[in-house]
Amino acid sequence: MLDNNLTMVDWHLRYLQQAQWTKDLRRYLYEHCEIEKAQRILEVGCGTGALLMEWTSLPTPSINGLDINNDHLRQAEKHAPRACLTLGNAYSLPYPTAFFDVSLCHFLLLWLKDPIRALAEMRRVTRSGGFVLVLAEPDYGGRIDYPDVLHPLGELQSKALLCQGADPLIGRQLGGLMHQVGFHAVETGVLGGQWTQSPDLKEQAMEWSVLENDLQELLAADTLRNLRRADEEAWRRGERILFVPTFYAFARV
């Protein structure tokens, strides 16, 4: 969902923004899986290290990240120097069976053509009694945009994601996918939505760089400009609601 024209620093800022959205959820899930006691942790699709960074304070001896994008891994080296980073594919994880205490991913499965295969690999490399966490996957079928003039944005972005090979409805499927892989007692849920103030100008600009990149083939430039103006005005009036249901799932191996 990122603009390919963004600089690498902007990619990292985008991932940090996404990590901020799920901060409270991670605290809840990390407590359940007792992540502070983990000896080996793996993030599949670690990007530029936005999540790996926060593990540097943990006593965990082995922090691992895997990503298919070498440029992102070079950034992760700077942001999470403690992490052992690997260039690789989620469909064939280059780790021994039952190796990790906790394996997780964050905004990853929507981009995969075969999420079951990736989840099966995460299950394989996680020891018995360990945990697999799917921290956040969006569901654009339930997106809410208000005022009504902004309502088309959700449907348009879903179309754009489909064109990019992503699954905009992956969120609602998480429970079923986990069961298909062989997990039992799976917990799934949705992040809540709270609005206390408008996002700052940098956050708004980042959101619109993503939207404009996604929708430039679907809408004329002047239509996009009008929608952006309507969005900015709605935030100023305090009436803007933007909610994309974001699902999580976790289970013990």
| pLDDT digits 0-9 by tens, 117-153 | 999 999 999 999 999 999 999 999 999 999 999 999 9
Q: Considering the domain boundaries, does residue 2 fall inside one?
A: no
CATH number, domain at 142? 3.40.50.150
Q: Considering the domain boundaries, does residue 92 fall inside one?
A: yes
> Residue 224: which domain range?
8-252
CA dihedral 237, 238, 242, 243 (to 10 degrees): -160
pTM of the entire structure? 0.89
Q: Characterise 209 by phi-psi region: left (phi > 0), alpha (psi -120 to 50), beta (else).
A: alpha
Full strand arrangement of the beta sheet holding 84-87: 84-87, 62-67, 40-44, 100-105, 126-138, 246-252, 187-190
Q: Considering the domain boundaries, does residue 176 fall inside one?
A: yes
Half-sphere exposure of 24 (CA within 13 A, CB side): 7
Predicted confidence (pLDDT) at residue 83 exceeds the cutoff of 50: yes
Q: What is the pLDDT of residues 150-203, one digit of tens each?
A: 999 999 999 999 999 999 999 999 999 999 999 999 999 998 777 666 777 778
Sign of CA dihedral 193, 199, 204, 205: negative
Report how many domains make up the chain.
1
Which residue, chain included where needed, has tokens 């800022």?
Answer: 13
Predicted confidence (pLDDT) at residue 217 exceeds the cutoff of 90: no
The SS3 assignment for 226 reads helix
